Amino acid sequence: MMKQERLAELEGVRALMAWWVVAGHVAWFFSDRVGNAIHNDSAVMVFMALSGFVISALICDRREPYGAFMIRRVFRLWPAYLIALAISVATLSEQASALTHAPFHPQFATFRLGNIAASLGQYWPNLATHLAMVQGLVPDAVLPHGSVAMLGQAWSLSVELQFYLIAPLLIWLISSGRAGVAAAAGLAVCLFLLGSYGPLRDNIAFIGRYVPWFAVGIASFYLWRGRTHRIGTMLVAGFCVLLAGYGVLARDPAAPVWIGVLLALFWVGPAGRLLAHPILKRLGEASYSTYLFHMLPLYLGAYALNALALDRWVYLAALTLITVVVTLAASLASYRYVEKPMMSLGAYLAKRRFADRRPAALTVETLTGP
């Protein structure tokens, strides 16, 4: 099992990435230019690399039955998600009103209004795909805006679920020798091509386009596991150089951020100690709910403020404060009263149904959501 101090550092990474996403969405509500400059999509890519790393460690350490693995994933993802989805579905009209009557009208608002209109126009199909978290498996030609209809930020949860479904197979192939590694690489390439050129290419919640970042996380885990080997340092250095090159060419902040994560994991230093800070650890535990719930206080806060005829700057400050405070309170409460009990229940059911006798480490489980 991964050392606890390393887990604390990864919790810190999750906390920073979750609040990076919050900052990006708040900025987008007021200005496309500022929102685009924050690159909060890069934070989601780091989440995916982190999932690749942690799920690989979990599968290699536990060697549990596939059914037990998926039961615990279901009880990790769905309980808090269903609460957020229910609130979002019940308030779609208020969200549309908030965006329409706000004193700011960026393209982001127009895009979200289109998503809401699509949600209401094909209500039951969208609700069904979101309840099952399979919105990433339906082509846009069949269900327009379907990946971001009911709960916009939940698109990445569908991506995560798709990864969980195939991760045990990938890790088994990688662990079975050179032929298995080649087969895993072939499967990854097929998914990537399907996401780039197939019928799901326009669906942003299909795993195909994110295969490279999950692969980065999986490769990082195997490098971390072999860190004591003589050539381990050279391999890590070469991997970081490749990531840096990609980051420069693609102008993707996710690359240098992940390099920083690797440096903190492999060599304890000031960055690692900062990431392991108790406050960041606590925020990291609640980061899944932070990601899930933050758009709701943003929209519903705007809906309330629209009735007050505030100065634009006062409105901006008030809505930012509402979003941060309510998101923080909701995420901490969700972790304590929803996520943690449900993870324990999932572990109990996995043990009862599949004789999964090794107790689940909730410290690890908190890392396995987006």
Count how many domains the chain has.
1
pTM, entire model: 0.93
Q: What sections of the chain are H helices per DSSP?
A: 4-30, 32-38, 40-62, 66-90, 92-101, 107-121, 123-132, 155-175, 178-197, 211-225, 232-250, 254-266, 270-275, 278-285, 287-293, 295-305, 312-334, 340-354, 362-365
The pLDDT value given to residue 139:
94
pLDDT of residue 361: 67
Classified as helix, coil or strand, 65 is coil
Mean pLDDT score of the chain: 90
pLDDT for position 353: 82
Nearest 5°: CA angle at 236, between 231 and 237?
Answer: 100
H or E element in which residue 152 lies: none
Looking at residue 229, its pLDDT comes to 73
With CA atoms as reference, report the closest residue to 232 among 270, 265, 260, 266. 266
Q: Tens of pLDDT along 83-123?
A: 999 999 999 999 999 999 999 988 999 999 999 998 899 99
Per-position pLDDT tens, the chain of length 370: 555 556 678 888 999 999 999 999 999 999 999 999 999 999 999 999 999 999 998 888 878 889 989 999 999 999 999 999 999 999 999 999 999 999 998 899 999 999 999 889 999 999 999 999 999 999 999 999 999 999 999 999 999 999 999 999 999 999 998 999 999 999 999 999 999 998 999 999 999 999 999 999 999 999 888 777 777 778 888 899 999 999 999 899 999 999 988 888 877 666 677 888 889 989 999 999 999 999 999 999 999 999 998 999 999 999 999 999 999 999 999 999 999 999 999 988 988 887 766 656 666 777 777 7
What distance separates the 2 farthest-apart alpha carbons in the chain? 66
DSSP assignment of 216-285 equals HHHHHHHHHHTTTSTTHHHHHHHHHHHHHHHHHHHT-THHHHHHHHHHHHHS-SHHHHHHT-HHHHHHHH
Supply the pLDDT for residue 362. Answer: 64
Q: Using CA atoms, how far apart are residues 290 and 124, in angstroms rounded to an integer? A: 27
What pLDDT score does 33 carry? 92
Domain that holds residue 105: 4-368
Cα distances (Å, whole numbers) of residue 156 to 135, 190, 281, 291: 10, 20, 22, 10
